[in-house]
A and B are shown apart, each in its own frame.
Chain A
């Protein structure tokens, strides 16, 4: 019964959060946005006292139900381990807590969080890891499905579906998402909640509370026949049944209730047991049996972290090389016949000395300290402006660029979505109060300044009137009133000069 309830709730949360990451229309976030805001680390970073207090109390009362229900990565692992073990009669066995790994990672994580090494935080934070996988690996499939519907709709004369471009926003982040998925699959396929109990910093944080939880699964030693059914069904591998003693490590128990459900004698109960399990077990069972898999998974974990860092590094190098390799092609002028299209080169991102952070982020300081790189804003940005940074310091954290669109005046979606307070909600009306960056003109490229053509596009389209055309000698050139420019990128996006625009936006450290 409890297990069923857990599964139902878990599926509701997991589906909701996954849909939140998949949906690109913005239709779902007013319904499901709260599920992201309920995530522990984002709520902590957003200084969302209410949510943090709720989660603390929840864990103190019921144990780590967060890990079994609210955390999408946890639910995903349950799914994967079900696939890996449901045919096996004795899928798990008790394993000792890997203290050095668990608390070592946790300590590093806290240090990284305080010191602002967000790459490390983003790599390990469970919600971010999950979001990264969905945005990078699942959303493309979702979009292709949508595009198929759009294709059909077009043929049926319907406007219900429209296609959406599927594009690689950042190779390093994509590769990290793949590595994350591989690590999660490898660890959970046969190992259940190994990740959650050896690596996940949120899991470890909650474990400090869950050992004091009021309600927990308790083994009635009198009824227990030492059949080990609970032990072999424990995904967290935290139940030890020996002749000498029965014991549950509540720091690792995620309250999945598999043990209660499977106990043939009804000897396990989820009940009020405050104050009985804080101490470590006195009769810690001896592990006489061979324990290859446990040792392996313990070894795997730190290695995979290193591998990810390594892959990220190489991926960045590869990505940068690819960008440099694309050289500007001169536009060919064809002989005048009617019809046909002139080539339009795809735009390339210019070098920005200061990256542009989204409207509502208030500036680099606030943004980079709070963003956990969950990719939710990136998955949802309707103008294809946001993409994960490839800068090692801000890896996976979003930044803005205007090759495929610009930050449109009516859109405030990223701020509405962001669960960690890195991007605060702003209104359409106040959007122009935030100066994300400042446009600058490259007169070597500008059509007007070089006398190649009359243009003035940037001045014509600037929503705040920050760009003016001034006479300089016998040519005109655009100039930018720095304090009026809000850095929305419309000028850069619409500048006819390709592949790198003649007017480009550089970010501002402080937006207000």
Chain B
């Protein structure tokens, strides 16, 4: 609540500042940067890409008359208009996002603007059906949904886990790589790349295909933020530092996803927030994470999945007064990352790839609630705690508010269906079971 208010206020301040004549913004606490959006140039084709891109995976959903979830198109239009007006020109979607509705909503919102004003990135999200027919249908469908006849950036969606074997199964054996390369030659795909989630060795083997010349990738999308920089587990999930350096070496432009870890880096534990605010009282917590990503030159674009106007205003502010982090600030961020790691959070970014769980469990909802309680310190650890009763009530009541009873962790049967979908390689059933046990111990007062 506080953060949102802050963003609203600071966003308004940014707007006011933007309207004011140049040089009349001293005392606003804003860094003296350029007034305009920061752009990076794609060395392959000279595309001028805004350093902040719009991720279309977290748009607001509303219930329609039939009780089904539906994207709030009006809100999306408003956000897209504002974004384009303020120089954001990269929009990243997928046929799988938001129950399959993201591309269509993006198409509706974007087609109201001239096509040359923005870049479209979408993906071949052939997770369930890998036959050539289904994959090609998905590809063609994306054109229709997005109301375009070319994609600026096209990605093989979430490869890495399972290494080259899975890559071949999803894209080579069914002839899709040949198909997509022809589409690139035909100009309907301007940049072909992939998004990566996996271990260092899986990355090595995939980028080996590029090195050997078997396939040429124009760009790669990786998960990068100040925590994942060196604090991803490094085993199942490669550190962002490693991925960045490997791609930088090869001169491959990098698009960044999860700069905020699904919002967790916008809402950090109080002690960390305090240290950030001490340094930059008027900048948002989230701005630190974005400045971190933008401080690396090989980064073409940093995606932010903005749900409403508040983060959009804040991001526009961050990237129109962009200040790369100094060496000293980078050291500070590493310190913050180290402190973040001390909190027993679940590495869920709320991407919802695990959903829908066939048994109806709200997996990201449960994890998000758990993480939020840890972040906000409303996490009872022992009955000995002075305010144990209060914390217990807060956890249980807020859990019921966040997740419907029949969708809570205790209903998971550990079928394992979700495991292969999680880009973070979270042991979802084990984590749900851990949360269910924690809640049992709260209810039974055996903590």
* Distance in Å: Cβ of B360 to nearest Cβ of chain A: 4
B360 adjacent to A338 (CB under 8 Å): no
Partner of A344, one of B100, B360, B394, B444: B360
A159 adjacent to B397 (CB under 8 Å): yes
Please indicate the chain A residues that have their CB under 8 angstroms from the CB of B69 in the complex.
339-340
Please indicate the chain A residues that have their CB under 8 angstroms from the CB of B356 in the complex.
334, 339-342
Complex-state Cα separation, A341 to B63, whole angstroms: 13
A–B pairs, 24, beta carbons within 8 Å: A157-B1, A159-B393, A159-B398, A163-B400, A335-B100, A337-B97, A337-B98, A337-B99, A338-B352, A338-B355, A339-B98, A339-B99, A339-B355, A341-B355, A341-B357, A342-B356, A342-B357, A342-B358, A409-B444, A410-B444, A447-B413, A454-B414, A455-B414, A494-B411
Given contacts A340-B355, A341-B362, A454-B416, contact A335 B128 (CB under 8 A): yes
A496 adjacent to B406 (CB under 8 Å): no
Complex-state Cα separation, A157 to B95, whole angstroms: 36
- Chain B 325-363 near chain A by CB (<8 Å), digits 1 or 0: 000000000000000000000000001110111111010
Please indicate the chain B residues that have their CB under 8 angstroms from the CB of A338 in the complex.
57, 94, 96-99, 351-353, 355
- Chain A 444-470 near chain B by CB (<8 Å), digits 1 or 0: 000100000111110011000000000
Complex-state Cα separation, A446 to B98, whole angstroms: 32
* Distance in Å: Cβ of B58 to nearest Cβ of chain A: 10
- How many pairs of residues, A versus B, come closer than 8 Å at their CB atoms? 90
Given contacts A410-B443, A410-B444, A494-B410, contact A337 B360 (CB under 8 A): no
B contacts with A, residue count (CB < 8 A): 42
Given contacts A336-B96, A461-B410, contact A343 B355 (CB under 8 A): no
Complex-state Cα separation, A344 to B444, whole angstroms: 27
Please indicate the chain A residues that have their CB under 8 angstroms from the CB of B411 in the complex.
494, 496
Please indicate the chain B residues that have their CB under 8 angstroms from the CB of A333 in the complex.
358
Whether B401 is near chain A, meaning CB under 8 Å from some CB there, is yes
B413 adjacent to A457 (CB under 8 Å): yes
Whether B407 is near chain A, meaning CB under 8 Å from some CB there, is yes
CB interface residues, A 326-358, toward B, < 8 Å:
331, 333-344
Instruction: Determine the residue in chain B with the shortest Cβ distance to A153.
Output: B397
* Distance in Å: Cβ of A131 to nearest Cβ of chain B: 27
A338-B353, A344-B359 are known contacts; what are 14 more A-B pairs with Cβ within 8 Å?
A159-B394, A336-B128, A338-B351, A338-B352, A339-B69, A339-B355, A340-B356, A342-B357, A342-B359, A408-B443, A447-B413, A454-B414, A460-B414, A494-B410
Whether A208 is near chain B, meaning CB under 8 Å from some CB there, is no
Whether A103 is near chain B, meaning CB under 8 Å from some CB there, is no
A contacts with B, residue count (CB < 8 A): 31
- Chain B 10-47 near chain A by CB (<8 Å), digits 1 or 0: 00000000000000000000000000000000000000
* Distance in Å: Cβ of B6 to nearest Cβ of chain A: 16
Complex-state Cα separation, A494 to B351, whole angstroms: 27
A154 adjacent to B413 (CB under 8 Å): no
- Chain B 391-405 near chain A by CB (<8 Å), digits 1 or 0: 001101110110000
Given contacts A340-B356, A342-B357, A343-B360, contact A454 B100 (CB under 8 A): no
Instruction: Determine the residue in chain A with the shortest Cβ distance to B364.
Output: A339
Please indicate the chain B residues that have their CB under 8 angstroms from the CB of A334 in the complex.
356
Instruction: Determine the residue in chain B with the shortest Cβ distance to A154.
Output: B401
Whether B415 is near chain A, meaning CB under 8 Å from some CB there, is yes
Complex-state Cα separation, A334 to B96, whole angstroms: 12
Given contacts A162-B400, A410-B444, A496-B359, contact A344 B407 (CB under 8 A): yes
Complex-state Cα separation, A297 to B407, whole angstroms: 54
CB interface residues, B 231-261, toward A, < 8 Å:
none
* Distance in Å: Cβ of B263 to nearest Cβ of chain A: 15
* Distance in Å: Cβ of A349 to nearest Cβ of chain B: 16
Q: A-side interface residues toward B, CB under 8 Å? A: 154, 157, 159, 162-163, 331, 333-344, 408-410, 447, 453-457, 460-461, 494, 496
Given contacts A336-B128, A344-B406, contact A455 B355 (CB under 8 A): no
Which of A337, A457, A496 gathers the greatest number of chain B CB atoms within 10 Å? A337
* Distance in Å: Cβ of B416 to nearest Cβ of chain A: 7
Please indicate the chain B residues that have their CB under 8 angstroms from the CB of A496 in the complex.
359, 411, 413
Instruction: Determine the residue in chain A with the shortest Cβ distance to B400.
Output: A162
Please indicate the chain B residues that have their CB under 8 angstroms from the CB of A344 in the complex.
359-360, 406-407
Please indicate the chain B residues that have their CB under 8 angstroms from the CB of A340 in the complex.
69, 99, 355-356
* Distance in Å: Cβ of B94 to nearest Cβ of chain A: 8
Q: Shortest 5 CB-CB distances between A and B: which pairs?
A: A336-B128, A337-B100, A344-B360, A339-B352, A340-B99
Instruction: Determine the residue in chain A with the shortest Cβ distance to B445.
Output: A410
Complex-state Cα separation, A338 to B262, whole angstroms: 15
Whether B296 is near chain A, meaning CB under 8 Å from some CB there, is no
Please indicate the chain A residues that have their CB under 8 angstroms from the CB of B125 in the complex.
337
* Distance in Å: Cβ of A420 to nearest Cβ of chain B: 29
* Distance in Å: Cβ of A324 to nearest Cβ of chain B: 23
A341 adjacent to B407 (CB under 8 Å): yes
A342 adjacent to B351 (CB under 8 Å): no
Instruction: Determine the residue in chain A with the shortest Cβ distance to B443.
Output: A410
Instruction: Determine the residue in chain B with the shortest Cβ distance to A339.
Output: B352
Please indicate the chain B residues that have their CB under 8 angstroms from the CB of A342 in the complex.
356-360
A162 adjacent to B397 (CB under 8 Å): yes
Complex-state Cα separation, A333 to B128, whole angstroms: 12
Whether B127 is near chain A, meaning CB under 8 Å from some CB there, is yes
Complex-state Cα separation, A494 to B128, whole angstroms: 28
Which of A334, A339, A410 gathers the greatest number of chain B CB atoms within 10 Å? A339
Complex-state Cα separation, A157 to B372, whole angstroms: 13
Complex-state Cα separation, A451 to B223, whole angstroms: 38
Please indicate the chain B residues that have their CB under 8 angstroms from the CB of A447 in the complex.
413
Instruction: Determine the residue in chain B with the shortest Cβ distance to A163.
Output: B400
Please indicate the chain A residues that have their CB under 8 angstroms from the CB of B443 in the complex.
408, 410
Instruction: Determine the residue in chain B with the shortest Cβ distance to A448.
Output: B413
